[in-house]
Structure 1
Amino acid sequence: MASRTGRTSEAQPWHPQMTRRLAVQAGAVGLLGLGIEHLGALRAMGGPATPKGRDDRAVIYIFLSGGLSQLDSFDLKPDAPAEIRGEFRPIATRTPGLSICEHLPKLAERSGLWSLVRSLTHSSNDHSAGHHIMLSGRSDLPSGFDPTKPRPSDWPSIASIAGALCPPRNNLPPAVVLPEKLIHSTGRAIPGQFGGEMGAKHDPWFIEASPFDPTAYGAYPTYEFDHQQRPPAGAKTKRFQTPSLGLPEGFSESRLAGRLGLLATLDRQRSALENSAAAGGFDDERQGAVSLLTDRKVKQAFDVLHAPDAVLDRYGRHTFGWSLLMAKRLVEAGVKLVQVNLGNNETWDNHGNIFPHLKDKLFPPTDQAVSALLDDLNASGLLDSTLVVMAGEFGRTPKISRLAEFYKLPGRDHWGPAQSVLLAGGGVQGGRVIGSTDKIGGYPRSDPHPPENFAATIYNALGLPSNVSWRDPQDRPHFVYHGEPISALM
């Protein structure tokens, strides 16, 4: 693949080479983590808008941290014993012969837009290892893997590879992650979501739109919950903060050279900022930062909380809805890969109370927001060029379990051997089911696919050729593909 520098498929990945010392701040959150120097490089390298075609391909990777139960969502086993099948019943979709959970009615209505892989499989039942596996697309753990923290020897995340090998468009980085990093309840960052052996400079850009709270789960504020149903300690504090791009009142060149903060009245100061930059008051990199901060298209992409009421009603006024609406707008603005973490702090880790939590707290906002995303992408014509995938780090155990000391009701434990993955758009034909599991939903019965094939499907959807690689500081090539795209989807 030709890169921005004209190199072949073994090209050094493109990314601005600079520190994060000068981070552009948007209120309490960093604007994609970009420093002023990053922005200058992005503008200089970005060039004119890319014509429609190969370079308008994009991916939205919806990640369900904690692990979605395949048996209670997309691979129900109604004829299995009660301790396997659980409480939910299947409903028919628009696709003949395809049934999914009764609590996903909107997705059932739209089955012509998506397909399922019911036989994605890997060998780990550990959260940290599972995150690393599914976020990097590598089944084998790297030497020295530490489940308690990210390490420089970790495999690079799919988002990091996309950020390195896809050229930027419209002043935006090629890959972003939102609405927050994946943080364990203990406060540690979960490995697998960073640049790893590519180096920290290739960490994806994180839009951290919510403060960390170890006790809050789900699609807050509407569907916030606690896994163990403990009494609330006080008023809910979890909130969603979308960036309001701009500079503080009374800004100066010295302040701009430091950290830029929140401006509630950006529109009122827009012309003053532009005039200051045009007058030569800032160097080239700082002018680039001001240009991005005053770009109406970029501001609109992030300002999801003030979207029209009809749009918010469709997506939902909760973090799942706001996050997927932002993902859609970022793809429209030119971002190539958006990873959306639907649920912080291993939200989908339902060791107990699984049926009420899925029915009342997790499925309603997911069904609503994902359906709205597919509708909008389909109506705008972007679904043809945008692959939407939804997966977690693993599935859940076939047999229902009970941890009475922590949970009032039963749940399911971790299960790497089988999970169901939803895919739509980007060339995927709707209404298909790839692979199957055995009668208890525990192991693939046909057409098993490892995470390497899942990752290859994403890279293929981004237009990356099968021989593409990146080179480390010692000029050694590291190939991106470790499996084959799932051809039966196309």
Structure 2
Amino acid sequence: MPQEKTDLLGRRHFLRRCGMGFGALGLADLLAAGQSVGEPFFPGRAKRVIHFFLNGGPSHVDTFDPKPALQKHAGKELPRGNLRTERKTGAAFPSPFEFHRHGQSGIEVSSLFPGVAEHMDEIAVVRSMKAKLPNHEPSLMLMNCGDAILSRPSVGSWVTYGLGSENANLPSFIAMSPGGHPIKGAHNWQAGFLPGAFQGTFVDSKHEQVEKLIEHIRNAGQSRSGQRAQLDFLQLLNRGHLDARGGSDDQLRARIQSFELAYRMQLDATDAFDLDREPAYMRDLYGRGVHGRQTLIARRLLERGVRYVQLWHGSGQPWDNHDKIEENHRRLAGELDRPVAALLTDLKQRGMLEDTLVVFGGEFGRTPTVELTGAGKSRLGRDHNPYGFTVWMAGGGIRGGTVYGATDEFGFEAVEKVTEAHDLHATILHLLGFDHEKFTYRYAGRDFRLTDVAGEVMREILA
């Protein structure tokens, strides 16, 4: 049966949560679909998700999937032969980074992530992920929306549709990326056929001032009471339009909700994005760079009831290192390791890690063989590898200190407990309290799922 959003906010509860004037009382039923607190199918271990997306495709054999056989065959053709990828690759290319065991679990991690390595007993590493195509666009859509080709709602939109909002003054789903959009832009956090209220809100986190992080967050030309009166009148007209359409215009509902949310965000968003409210030692823990800032903002958003925060590494595809992978991966990991480790430490100290799911990974991996130029010379980099890569998760019901699945001895292909995006999504939904096979939305005469007609929960990594 499809999961339907029918519970409406009580008027008194609505006012208390939104801090709005009596002129907006009639909007409670209009906004309920986008702002009510949902009911999971069963008690979930996680209440919220933070997803670090390493767009471009990090190399698993240089980060969390050690392959000593590459050193043995360095400079030689692989005995198994090379799988077909987007570009021509040559001989075995051993990782330039050392791997060491960490924690009681003894999980091996590359020297690129010394901070994250200290938390391996809280992390489950999935080393058997598999995509379908060696291209960024379809792989991004598969990982974020569950379909490589067709337009579907994103994971964050499904999560907010299912759980609703804990804070009507902030978006339930926020995507941050310093410097601009990743490849495919807003399609990565689209609501698809779900109501528009569940689409992710984008923030360019390269800025430090709240006024630049969120454009037009303050209205310099009008008081809040004046804005409220103006908005009440506008919403009265919108309500008339909605009633004339039988109350079933999802686009108009989303527009009404977005107007109200923009008004209410002037207070809560200003507070959440203002890092001057954090003590200096906390800002130092996360680091003063852009990734430290956006990760600390993410924690503040989670504290305030935002359900799903996705943190992209940057515009375009920064982890797409076809050449000079040692230099580029060292720089990129150096930007991310400290903030991620700080977040895990901070969430644990606040008692939030137990009900916050942390997800870390990209859209695919990279080849264990070196990428070649047109003339057949080494580029000292790796091509896209959809056949096998790594994602890890922590907190929110995850059994830390575990490794799930494996790639072959060279890291070219997932061979043990092969895991696809639908399996990852099924596991995320399960941890949030949803049966992925029953969690549906009816559209165009069909009950759609995030996991389509596939997906199995990775029960071995559940606590």
Smaller-chain TM-score range?
Answer: 0.7 to 0.9
User: SS state of the match for residue 390, structure 2?
Assistant: strand
Q: CA deviation at 1:117?
A: 0.4
Residue deviations 1:103-134 (CA, integer Å, cap 9, x gap): 21111122112120000112210000110111
Pairing 1:254-273 to 2, within 5 Å after superposition: 257=230
Verify the 8 A CA contact 1:400 1:412 in the aligned structure 2: yes
Residue deviations 1:278-322 (CA, integer Å, cap 9, x gap): xxxxx9998876554234xx4332113653221121111122211
The residue that corresponds to 1:378 in the other structure is 348
TM-score (norm 1): 0.70
Greater alpha carbon shift after TM alignment, 157-166 vs 411-420: 157-166
Which of 195, 203, 206 is residue 207 of structure 1 equivalent to? 203
What CA distance in whole angstroms lies between the structure 2 residues aligned with 1:391 and 1:352?
20
Q: CA deviation at 1:198?
A: 3.4
The residue that corresponds to 2:52 in the other structure is 62
Structure 1 pair 56/244, CA: closer, same or farther in 2 (3 Å)?
farther
What CA distance in whole angstroms lies between the structure 2 residues aligned with 1:364 and 1:244?
33
Q: AA paired with 1:65?
A: N
Pairing 1:428-447 to 2, within 5 Å after superposition: 428-447=398-417
Q: CA deviation at 1:367?
A: 1.0
Q: How many residues are matched?
A: 390
Q: AA paired with 2:153?
A: P
Residue deviations 1:216-259 (CA, integer Å, cap 9, x gap): xxxxx9xxxxxxxxxxxxxxxxx98367943315447776758x
User: SS state of the match for residue 369, structure 2?
Assistant: coil
The residue that corresponds to 2:151 in the other structure is 154
- 2:278 aligned with 1:307, yes or no? yes
Verify the 8 A CA contact 1:178 1:341 in the aligned structure 2: yes
User: SS state of the match for residue 93, structure 2?
Assistant: helix
Which is helix-richer, 1 or 2? 2
Across the aligned residues of Structure 1 and Structure 2, the Cα RMSD in angstroms comes to: 3.6
Which of 342, 347, 360 is residue 313 of structure 2 equivalent to? 342
What CA distance in whole angstroms lies between the structure 1 residues aligned with 2:34 and 2:414?
49
Pairing 1:399-414 to 2, within 5 Å after superposition: 399-403=369-373, 410-414=380-384
Structure 1 pair 338/189, CA: closer, same or farther in 2 (3 Å)?
closer
- 2:434 aligned with 1:464, yes or no? yes
Q: Runs of 5+ in structure 1 lacking a partner?
A: 1-8, 17-36, 146-152, 212-220, 222-238, 259-282
Q: CA deviation at 1:77?
A: 1.3
Greater alpha carbon shift after TM alignment, 202-211 vs 104-113: 202-211
The residue that corresponds to 1:20 in the other structure is none
Residue deviations 1:62-88 (CA, integer Å, cap 9, x gap): 111100100100012133233331311
- 2:68 aligned with 1:78, yes or no? yes
What CA distance in whole angstroms lies between the structure 2 residues aligned with 1:395 and 1:66?
9
Verify the 8 A CA contact 2:286 2:296 in the aligned structure 1: yes
The residue that corresponds to 1:164 in the other structure is 161
- 2:267 aligned with 1:294, yes or no? yes
Greater alpha carbon shift after TM alignment, 477-486 vs 448-457: 477-486
Q: CA deviation at 1:38?
A: 10
User: SS state of the match for residue 198, structure 1?
Assistant: coil
Q: CA deviation at 1:191?
A: 4.2
Q: CA deviation at 1:468?
A: 3.4
Structure 1 pair 71/182, CA: closer, same or farther in 2 (3 Å)?
same
The residue that corresponds to 1:173 in the other structure is 171
Structure 1 pair 40/209, CA: closer, same or farther in 2 (3 Å)?
farther
The residue that corresponds to 2:87 in the other structure is none
Q: Runs of 5+ in structure 2 lacking a partner?
A: 9-26, 75-91, 232-255
What CA distance in whole angstroms lies between the structure 2 residues aligned with 1:286 and 1:124?
39
Pairing 1:12-51 to 2, within 5 Å after superposition: 12=4, 41=31, 45-46=35-36
